[in-house]
Structure 1
Amino acid sequence: MKTKTLLAASGLLAPTHALLRFGCSQLTVQRLDPLVNPGQSPSPHLHQIIGGNSFNVSMDHNGGHDLVKGSTCTSCQFTEDFSNYWTAVMFFRARNGTFKRVPQIAQTGMEGTNGGMVVYYMSDALFDTAQKSKVTAFKPGFRMLVGDPAYSTRDQARDWRQLTYTCMESQASRAPESIGFPKTPCKGGIMANHRFPTCWDGVNLDSPNHRDHVAYPEVGTFESGGRCPSTHPVRLPQILLETVWDTRQFNNKADWPEDGSQPFVWSSGDATGFANHADYVFGWKDDSLQKAMDAHTYVSAPMLKTQTIAQQNKCTVRDMVNEKFDGWLQKIPGVERLVF
């Protein structure tokens, strides 16, 4: 993606497009995955989760789980958003073979946020000044997965067009992007970017692999106004998740593996970066998201209610898996071997 596109998507250029951009603090860090491994505790690898506090081991919409009715708070800025979003957790692999969880950095203007991510919902292609395009908000029970924790090669990663990393020089850095982990120390940390598919089949709220009911545009990207394939004709908002991992404390190459290889590993055991992935379970209250998308506002949304960062930080869930994942560890929880 071109530099100007990335900068615009981050709210750093004039408002020539419509989007919501908001921060969500950390709801919990646990080895749970109710989308891919429902009912399994612990799940195969560790995740960082944001959103509504009804998150639990099993969240079957058909079984009656309602994120809005089941939640009493959300760790996101907009109080109507009880959705859950989660990604793998990043670890540092030291020269002596031990591991340490990498903390996260709040972005500019969101200082004080406890971990978490920045979330975008885009309703228009970038630089579409007419702002006439229409997106259909997700429906209750909608779920999807982007990326694959089993991938370990560049060819496999081509299945997902816009899962990338930015080796940050500063908080303003949004380019260049790489598909695998950065190979050199990053002055401002590593940003992981997750852009979800934006075309829906219009029928299924989920699919067995959590992927087949959605697709990317058949040409171009959402940001370039690319058209959806005939099999998935309904245009969805573009969801982008940004997580800034604070790798600055690990920039001393004398602490890196002796062979000079980059030292970061996803909690799935992937040291290539090609296993980058994220999960989404929709949980906006009533038609609040559709109203926000129809309004074509920029960053903020007057029709939505916001809460303070302190209130976001208070929204958490109990530990459902009793295991240590902080401090120096001999192994990453649940991981028996690394993939290089």
Structure 2
Amino acid sequence: MRIRGRTLSALLLATALGVSALSVDAFTAVASAPSDAPAVQAAARPHTGHVMGASALPSGDDADGDGYIPANPQVTGVTPSQEVPPRAYFHEFQANCSVTHTAPDDPIVYPGQPGASHDHTFMGNTSTNAHSTTASLTGGPTTCNAPADSSAYWMPSLYKGDQRILPVGPQVIYYKSGVTDYRSVRPFPRGLRFVVGSPTQSAQEFRSHKGFVEGWECGDSFFNVDFPASCPSRPDVQLNIRFQAPSCWNGLYLDTPDHKSHMAYPVVRPGTNDNMCPASHPVALPMIEFKMAFPVNGDMSQVRLSSGRGYSFHYDFFNAWEERTLKALVDHCVVGGLQCDTRGYDQNHPERGAVLNADHRLP
């Protein structure tokens, strides 16, 4: 049954996931996350921010423009693992990628609408723009160490005054297990996309966000919600931030109107310290962690993000990995309980070998 471009089952799912409820007469609008601004049409707006789920238009992968992109196939019948595996302190690999370009585009929040967003700094796939789709990104050129990683990664651009400050060299993007049973983690489905954090979040929302790790840091200053007033003026000092993404998927949609509700952070199993996926989002995926470094120090009073203050930091991920390579890395490093580099090699366990060859390709 379809009602004004949206399925009744989609509405019920949205309600179950906590997305803002919509009346039958308002089915043409999109659901918005509680911390985001109201839904508006994205025709012309200042580039000071963007609004999650602001405009669901027929575009790219979302042919009917309802904001829901179903997975094919959908993953059902999964029960979140409560098992406690053999202890492995690490279960990760790196997918390090360099900056490609900047643009006021966002193919997740404003698909098909070039110039509608604040300025973003893009990494990974060199072709990413407002019109990017799963098909256009897949197999595309990339600045990631592994040629099989054609995924798109982006974040608000950082400025000092009017000067844009771009990260130099490969930036560290971890793929980790966010759940205790790291053996239950499976690769991302192709075309999965989501937004981590929000450009409209308050300082307190940023600090209490489940993805918050150490905030902004430089030198001996860390756990800063906003940019520190100053950083040591030394060549070796950069402004850093680490922020983690949700890693539990509902198995049904590659995207939802607010670009978040199909994903969730792990929860603590009652009576334990173990993390597991919630029943509403039972599929354990890799947990992405951005570890970004910006070459700026000294007086930080003029440092800002294109989205606003330091606590407006957020980022986007659009998966376009070649599936065999991603599975090999996830199975060897995450499921295998190793601390891998970009080749899938753990120097503490050389006997386990590497996944990729010297050219970062599957042998």
Please state which band the TM-score falls in when normalised by the shorter chain.
0.5 to 0.7
SS of equivalent to 1:288:
helix
Aligned-CA RMSD value = 2.6
Match of 1:137, as an amino acid? Answer: P
Q: 2:355 aligns with which of 303, 320, 339?
A: 303
Q: 1:210 aligns with which of 259, 262, 277?
A: 259
Q: 1:81 aligns with which of 131, 144, 149?
A: 149
Residues 31 and 43, structure 1, Cα contact 8 Å, conserved in 2: yes
Q: Which runs of 4+ in 1 moved over 6 A?
A: none
Bigger relative CO (Cα 8 Å, ≥ 6 apart)? 1
CA distance in 2, matches of 1:132, 1:44: 36
Residues 89 and 266, structure 1, Cα contact 8 Å, conserved in 2: yes
Name 1:100's counterpart in structure 2. Answer: 163
Tell me whether 78-87 or 145-154 shows the greater mean CA deviation.
145-154
Name 1:228's counterpart in structure 2. Answer: 277
Deviation at 1:186, TM superposition (A): 4.5
Name 2:239's counterpart in structure 1. Answer: 190
1:133-282 alignment, distance < 5 Å = 133-155=183-205, 158-162=208-212, 164-169=214-219, 176-186=222-232, 188-219=237-268, 225-248=274-297, 251=298, 253=299, 262-268=301-307, 270-271=308-309, 273-282=310-319
Match of 2:159, as an amino acid? Answer: F
CA distance in 2, matches of 1:132, 1:275: 31
Q: 1:283 aligns with which of 304, 315, 320?
A: 320
Deviation at 1:294, TM superposition (A): 1.0
Gaps of 5+ in 1: 1-14, 94-98, 106-112, 257-261, 309-340
Q: TM-score, normalised by structure 1?
A: 0.67
Deviation at 1:190, TM superposition (A): 1.0
Deviation at 1:44, TM superposition (A): 2.5
Residues 121 and 166, structure 2, Cα contact 8 Å, conserved in 1: no
CA distance in 2, matches of 1:59, 1:138: 18
CA distance in 1, matches of 2:95, 2:159: 25
Structure having the higher Rg: 2
Q: TM-score, normalised by structure 2?
A: 0.63
CA distance in 2, matches of 1:195, 1:124: 9
CA distance in 1, matches of 2:178, 2:248: 13
Name 1:338's counterpart in structure 2. Answer: none
CA distance in 2, matches of 1:101, 1:40: 23
Deviation at 1:67, TM superposition (A): 2.0
How many residue pairs get matched? 252
CA distance in 2, matches of 1:74, 1:119: 14
SS of equivalent to 2:138:
helix
Deviation at 1:184, TM superposition (A): 3.2
Residues 47 and 267, structure 1, Cα contact 8 Å, conserved in 2: yes
SS of equivalent to 2:331:
helix
Gaps of 5+ in 2: 1-87, 345-353
Note if 1:25 corresponds to 2:25. no
1:1-12 alignment, distance < 5 Å = none
Residues 99 and 167, structure 2, Cα contact 8 Å, conserved in 1: no
Match of 2:146, as an amino acid? Answer: F
